[in-house]
Amino acid sequence: MKEDAPFQFRRLGAAVGAEIVDLDLSRPVNDQTFAAVRRAFLESNGLLVFRDQHITPEQHIAFSRRFGPLMIHVLDKFLLPGHPEILRVSNVVENGEPIGLGDAGRIWHSDLSYTAEPSLGSLLYALEIPSEGGDTSFANMADAYDALPAEIKQRIDGKSAVHSYGHSYAKFSGSKFRPKLTEKQKNEVAEVVHPVVRTHPESGRKALFVNEGFTSRIVGLPDAESRELLELLFAHSTQPQFVYRHHWQDHDLLFWDNRCTIHLAHGCPPELRRHMHRTTVKGDAPY
Ligand code: OGA
Ligand code: MN
């Protein structure tokens, strides 16, 4: 980072992640500071951790919107009342009903990769963190792509893959956090096809764009070969050298890049409260 950035920037993991301290997002962020945040986001390889934030839902939404339009999650039951731009990622149960998506992200994934114009990035704000567990891991998909053997790069060159919300949803059937989808919701999350390797529109780097959560098959390959290749790519991309594991601090706000990272929720003991708010910024169609 340039010396004159109006905040401190410190790398967290070797693969991905940097923290920003001394920046108060409850106060207006001027254009110059915002430009420095965008640079920091790119330099972090796809994950910024803003420490010690005390922001309202309105401020969370307004800051998120500066990166692009916001997406509304299909599980409308878990949207923050009055603020549908915020998805509650929470295991809190009130009057016998979960108020949020308590088992979000338990398989490696990129948020909303099952949409035609998937997310640029997500901003997840920790309001309550458990005393134990609840970590989130992030994998650098550009490094993962670079490190692939030439033979695998050749096999995936020019290939596309199907991304499907229903594909992973089915794995959670029975979870109290997974209401049965209505026909309208199913239509809203119809399958889409994306390139297996995408180019990051800002850095120009190539990154793998398949994830275990939402990628169901590679187009044009026999089923068995598609499965074998996807499993190889999933296992490859989540190796320790590509991963940073985040242990949350109170009032962290994380902003990750869904175009060049995937992430995984490790979960926490169910009796401990974990309560977060997420906004999701829309991105471009991958190419
Ligand atoms: C998400 C997500 C991970 C976590 O909010 O998109 O995957 O650890 N969350 O809560
Ligand atoms: Mn997620």
Measured from the CA of 266, which atom of ligand 1 is nearest? 8
Q: What is the pLDDT along the chain (287 residues), one digit of tens a residue?
A: 655 678 999 999 899 999 999 999 999 999 999 999 999 999 999 999 999 999 999 999 999 999 999 999 999 999 999 999 999 999 999 999 999 999 999 999 999 999 999 999 999 999 999 999 999 999 999 999 999 999 999 999 999 999 999 888 888 888 889 989 999 999 999 999 999 999 999 999 999 999 999 999 999 999 999 999 999 999 999 999 999 999 999 999 999 999 999 999 999 999 999 999 999 999 999 99
The pocket of ion ligand 2, defined by CB under 5 A, consists of 105, 111
Q: Domain segments of the chain: what residues?
A: 8-282
Q: Ligand 1 mean position to 115 CA, how many Å?
A: 17
DSSP state of 157: T
Measured from the CA of 267, which atom of ligand 1 is nearest? 8
CA atoms of 252 and 237, how far apart (whole Å): 26
Determine how many CB atoms are found less than 10 A away from the CB of residue 42. 15
- The answer to whether the beta carbons of residues 198 and 209 sit under 8 Å apart is yes
Measured from the CA of 109, which atom of ligand 1 is nearest? 7
Both tokens assigned to 71: 């997406």
Residue 111 annotated as catalytic:
yes
The pLDDT, as a whole number, for residue 150 is 98
The pLDDT, as a whole number, for residue 1 is 62
Q: Ligand 2 mean position to 3 CA, how many Å?
A: 33
Among 60, 194, 259, 263, the active-site one is 263
Fold of 8-282: Double-stranded beta-helix (3.60.130)
The pLDDT, as a whole number, for residue 171 is 83
Tell which one of 89, 253, 255 to mutate to probe ligand 1, the residue whose CB is within 8 A of the most ligand atoms: 89
* 69-78: long-range pairs with CB below 8 Å, 24+: 69/281, 69/282, 70/279, 70/280, 70/281, 70/282, 71/112, 71/115, 71/119, 71/280, 71/281, 71/282, 73/101, 73/280, 74/165, 74/181, 74/185, 74/188, 74/189, 75/101, 75/179, 75/185, 77/179, 78/177
Residue 278 annotated as catalytic:
yes
Nearest CA to ligand 1 atom 8: 265
Query: What is the pTM (predicted TM-score) of this model?
Result: 0.97
**Ligand 1 proximal residues by C-beta, below 6 Å:** 89, 104-105, 111, 122, 124, 136, 263, 265, 278
Q: Ligand 1 mean position to 123 CA, how many Å?
A: 10
